Structure formats: structure tokens, C-alpha cells
Amino acid sequence: MSLLPSWPEPIVRVQTLSKSGIRKIPRRFVKPPSDRPCNIMDITTTSINIPLIDLENLNSPNDSVRQETIDHISHVCREWGFFQVANHGISHELMEKTRAVWHEFFQLPLEEKQKFANLPMTYEGYGSRIGVEVGAKLDWCDYFFLHYLPQVLKNENKWPCLPVSCRKVISEYGEELVTLSRRLIKILSIGLGLNEDYVHKSFGGDGESSACLRVNFYPKCPQPDLTLGLSPHSDPGGITILLPDTNISGLQIRRGNNWFTVNPIPNAFIVNIGDQIQVLSNAIYKSVEHRVIASSNKERLSLAFFYNPGGRALIKPADELVTKDCPALYSPMTFNEYRSFMRTKGPSGKSQIESHKSPR
């Protein structure tokens, strides 16, 4: 994990840049030609409907319906790494309230948000960059990062205090997302032919598993063809549950050599597999490279909830999934060691998980 006590360069708040009326983005946000989105108009029309799972089917009294749903989730984890879930048990009212308090937070005066400015030691709070390399190209995004689990890391005093309902809403949302996450990782375990609590125990169980939230705010950008809201990466943790902005699409997933814009379904969550699940499953389930494009027309807000192993959890391929014909693809590594790569380098495609492969 990064040990730098402060950022190596002055922090630039992207929202402030956007509101200043600039017509050209600063050079530190301009991506190399090979990393830029191609033609923005082409990209926004190249959209894709990722698989939709109705979680209510898991409550069916019909055994075959429940099994078909488990099999469907297992299939999309192998073939897609991304899917949407409906009838997930979280009220639409809570989803909207949570979006609303974060919209209000990002519209507060800068000096109010600066009270929660983050540092690279933990990333907790109000931030505008990931990675600590000097001269790195930056993404067109501000964010707020906070911890839910383990309890020893949860500190509501580091959460926004405005709007006044913010902390209460954030806490309720986190409790609901932890419940949903644990339900999903149980299904992932079963789909791999493992005990239903295998992933949960591997992550450290109730006392050690970690959960955190990153709220992404993407201001309007005068030159969206030159930059990205978030650079290509696979998520380093366990699973991600995303509450997307349904007013404007921006999330893209990579399939083969092409990028596709995901069409979010109202009141559904987008779920994706992280690198730790790819490791535990010995690459049966796949994490998928994704990115976010910028927009010149509208600002966007999305909430990424990460359910991860505890920092000290040693993650390796499950013994039951390692055979003579399918040897272990990855060396054991603690989650703290693994995620230090992104916290140092920033988003870097799938290079981290690829570099983690065991030597043959």
C-alpha cells in the first residue's frame, strides 16, 4: 500500500476546471493517441446490453428455477464478467435518496468539500486522482472514497456531514449493499462447485472482509475525445456493485479488441467480477477491463461499491479447482499487497492480474 503522506503534485479539482469555462483541457489530462476514445459519436452508438439476472428467481419454490438462475450467473461470470441484477431487494427509494445526497455533496462550495480532502495513505475522502506517479496522465473525474468494513476502518466522521441526511443515508445504503454482496458471493461459490461459504471465508469472514464505496463525479468536459473519465482497468478486489447514472451512459467494457457502452437498466445494479475472484476461481471467472468516457453535454455520477477480501487475506486459487491439467495460475498474495499496485500506478488495464500469473 502507498506510504506517501501527501500527493506528489498539486491536486486539480476537475469540477472546478469544468466550471471555469475552459475550452481546452490541461495537458496533464490529454491521453496519448493510443489511449484516447476513438470517435465519440461512434462510441456512444456502439452500445451493448449485458446479461440481466432476476434475483427474485433465487427465492422460487421451484428447485429447477433456482438452479437455472445459479447456472446463468455462473455462465455470465465465465463469459462476460459483467451483468445486471434486478429484483435485488434494495428499495428504489433508497437508491434514489443515495444518488440525491451525493449529487448535493458535489454541488457544495469547494471549501466545504475540501474539508474532506484525501491523501494517498488511505484514499479516504474527497479526491481527484488515483496513483502517485509524478507526471502521470490524469482522468477527468472527482470522487469520494469511504470504508464500510471492517468495522475498525469505518469512521463516519470522515464521511460528508452535508447535506444533513448524508451520513444516515450512506450508512443504510452500505448495510444493504453488504447484504447483497454476501448473497452474490455465495452464488459465485456454488457456481464454482465449492461450498457456499468458500469465497466469504477466503475473504476473511464477517470480521475481516472489507467493503468500501467510491462515488465518481464526472464533470462536463470540453474535449471528451482527448481524455477519459476513468482509464481502462479491471477492479483489483472481489466484486463491484455499481449504481450507474441512468441519464447518460459512460461505462464501457472491453470485449475482444472493441469497446462497448453499457446500457444501464433503471433500478438495476451493474455487477462485475474483480481480480480476486479471478484468482480464487483459477481464471474460471474473469475480471473484465472497463473504462469511462467523458461527455461535453452532461455531468455524470455513479456509485461503485466494492466487496473485497480483508487486507491481510492471502488469496490463491481454490485447491478444489487446481488439477494436473489445470495447475494454479496465480501465486498467493495478500490483498494489501495486490491493491498497492493500483494505488501506486493508477488504472493500468489488465496488466496487474497478468503480471500476477505463476511462472510455468
Residue 320 included in any domain: yes
The total domain count for the chain is: 1
Specify the DSSP element, H or E, that contains 71: helix 63-79
Which pLDDT does position 345 carry in this prediction? 66
Which pLDDT does position 178 carry in this prediction? 98
Which pLDDT does position 334 carry in this prediction? 93
Residue 20 included in any domain: no
Residue 19 included in any domain: no
Residue 121 confidence (pLDDT) above 90: no
Task: Specify the CATH number for the domain of residue 164.
Answer: 2.60.120.330
Residue 271 included in any domain: yes
Rounded CA Rg of the chain: 20
Which pLDDT does position 356 carry in this prediction? 66
Left (φ > 0), alpha (ψ -120 to 50) or beta: where does 24 sit? beta
The C-alpha atoms of residue 194 and residue 326 are separated, in whole angstroms, by 16
Q: Count CB atoms within 10 A of the CB of residue 27.
A: 8
pLDDT tens-digit map of 195-229:
999 999 999 999 999 999 999 999 999 999 999 99
Q: Shortest CA distance to 352 belongs to which of 234, 203, 181?
A: 234
Asked if 143 and 216 touch (Cβ cutoff 8 Å), the reply is yes
Q: Shortest CA distance to 127 belongs to which of 112, 142, 108, 113?
A: 142
Q: Count CB atoms within 10 A of the CB of residue 25.
A: 20
If pLDDT is split at 50, 70 and 90, which confidence band does 2 have?
very low
Distant-in-sequence, close-in-space partners of 107: CB < 8 Å, separation ≥ 6: none
Residue 17 included in any domain: no
Q: Shortest CA distance to 309 belongs to which of 288, 334, 343, 340?
A: 334
Residue 31 confidence (pLDDT) above 70: yes
The stretch 251-279 carries a mean pLDDT of 95
- Across the chain, what does the average pLDDT equal? 93
Which pLDDT does position 1 carry in this prediction? 42
Residue 295 included in any domain: yes
Residue 132 included in any domain: yes
DSSP code for 308: E
Residue 219 backbone phi and psi in degrees, to 5: -70, 165
The stretch 61-85 carries a mean pLDDT of 97
pLDDT tens-digit map of 130-185:
888 899 999 999 999 999 999 999 999 999 999 999 999 999 999 999 999 999 99
Residue 6 included in any domain: no
- Residue in the structure block whose three cell numbers are 500506478: 345
The stretch 232-250 carries a mean pLDDT of 95
Which pLDDT does position 342 carry in this prediction? 64
344 or 73, which is more confident? 73
Domain that holds residue 319: 25-356
Q: What percent of the chain has pLDDT over 70?
A: 93
